[in-house]
A and B are shown apart, each in its own frame.
Chain A
Amino acid sequence: MSNKNINSTIKMRGKNVDVFYGDKQALFGVDLDIEKNQVTSLIGPSGCGKSTFLRCLNRMNDTIDICKVKGEITLDGQNIYDKDIDVVELRARVGMVFQKPNPFPKSIYENVAYGPKIHGMANSKEELDKIVLKSLKRAGLFDEVKDRLDDAGTSLSGGQQQRLCIARAIATRPEILLMDEPCSALDPIATAIIEELIDELREKFTIVIVTHSMQQAARVSQKTAFFHLGKLIEEGATEEIFTNPINKKTQDYIMGRIG
């Protein structure tokens, strides 16, 4: 665990990241820092590579055979693509919430308990119960489901399901939470609840969120990175990007102008 820079505010860093799907290149030399305890949002038009970059951060791209990742991505200073990095351990440290809520077809309790169980985080049922309770409370879901923890996870509404997925992701006490368009399938109220949740979670976690909604990125993040056609065009403080972007491409995108 050398090169671990404890005092740095940078949690994850991508250096010159190239991603290929077979012969097609999806990301071109991306350099991006993710700050600790901040929400970083990745914005850009469809197919610009923001989801691809996000999935590199917890090596979900490994599941796609033809995907190749070049360059360096470090977590606390250590390259996550090193040979001696256990991808299972990585994914316990870097959690993910997906676009469409995908709770396991199990009970609510089981959904949240699964991660801690397989990572051996609890030695007894009481400890497991505590972890589940805490995660559900943190995700703001506990009050709504405390009487029916044995009901199926799929019996909840869309917004509740997404919060369940968030609870599930944070149950393994990850350091970073990756969110891939988490609200795109939800109504505005549920979206607002989750945005509030993101704000609260920021205290303990580092969050990276991919979003199609610039308004959401503007509301929720402190740092914004704009991707276009596989390149990182501009990154900076959210306020700056949305009031006074430097790059014309960025400006055109956020103002809704054609090319």
Chain B
Amino acid sequence: MESRKATVRLKPDTTYDRPADAVSAFRRTSVVVAIVALITAATLIAAQTGTPQTPIKIGFMVPLSGGNAQNGRDILNGFLMYLDEIGYRAGGRKIELIVEDDEAIPAVGLTKARKLIERDEVHVMAGALLSSTGYALAPYITSMKIPMVYPVVSADDLTQRRRSEWIVRTGWSGSQPNHAFGEYAYRTLGIRSVVTIALDYAFGWESVGGFERTFQAQGGHILKRIWVPISVHDFAPYLAQIPRDADAVYALLLGRSALQFMRQYQEFGLKGRVQLIGGGTTTDEHVLPFMGDEALGTVTALHYSAALDTPANKTFAESYRTRYKKIPSYYSESMYTGGKWLIAAINAIDGRVEDRQALVDALRRVKPEGLPRGPVELDQYGNPIENVYIRRVERVNGQLQNTVIDTFPGVSQFWTFDPARYLSEPLYAR
């Protein structure tokens, strides 16, 4: 095998007979390199400081396929409506929204979060529907030190024992409205004995837990706790277990199970015989329009109602109805308010979203006005202190609505308990 002499060439097919040529070639090359380096450096520096030309990127993630798709869609729609109202601009910059489908599967949520944060390089995150996704994302969001807004995730512990300094909730915690409701049921509705029937997962346990705590503290009595697996669609075996002499049935359901339950509650003769009360999602507007007269008279508690009679909410509900041809659910309102919150924070720091610490501090600080659900401020754990509305289902102008019959102002996730004492006790469980 013949050996080949390695020839060093600065340019292909050119030989350098004279040193001067090599030097000029070297000079040319170094000039080009310097220019490229300068441009790169300038771009990098510009990207860091975020000139007014570069948009603010918001990463948004909800289920858009599968069984939870409609709720995810509602959350997104609320956000889109708000962004439209402000013309996709905040803090003097344009807003770019990147939406991903988390399929209601936590592992997918994590993958999409990685994509949004590491590939799309968003400045702030928002979204998530299921508590399981909320829990799964929290460590990652914290490790990436990026602010995230949870508009709907209601797992109590996410703003309690497992809170993160980077996650802010603009929605609610599951037990929050139910603390108030337990008292209301005893004092105002005069209920003394209750049978609870709830979906058998953390959301159900926390809602019932909150209700029970205050209801029993007043002197009320829980006759029976019925837990229904999430996959159930026929409640007959459970309805047959309800003692007819109970004062009321407290039901915590959502989505299609709320619809089915309402229908079957009437079928089995319980409607009109045992008063039906429940968590807010049981009659929330994402299912209420599909119910019939069987839902009338149900009393529930939530931090929102589409029928809330305030100017801010009337405007919001009208716009939403016009735009999406349906009444807004609490999911829709969640990211409308969440959007207002986010934008208020961005404005408070003059659009410098690259400073993530400043942004998350602003998120905890701001108090936007004119929210559809009423006045809201965040407690120091990152959960809203907001009104809890007691609603009754009524038919007004031919349509079912959650008429607000009472209001508990300024309810926090800890109710009237001292936070430190509250946190030292265990989470509501089955």
A, B bound: no
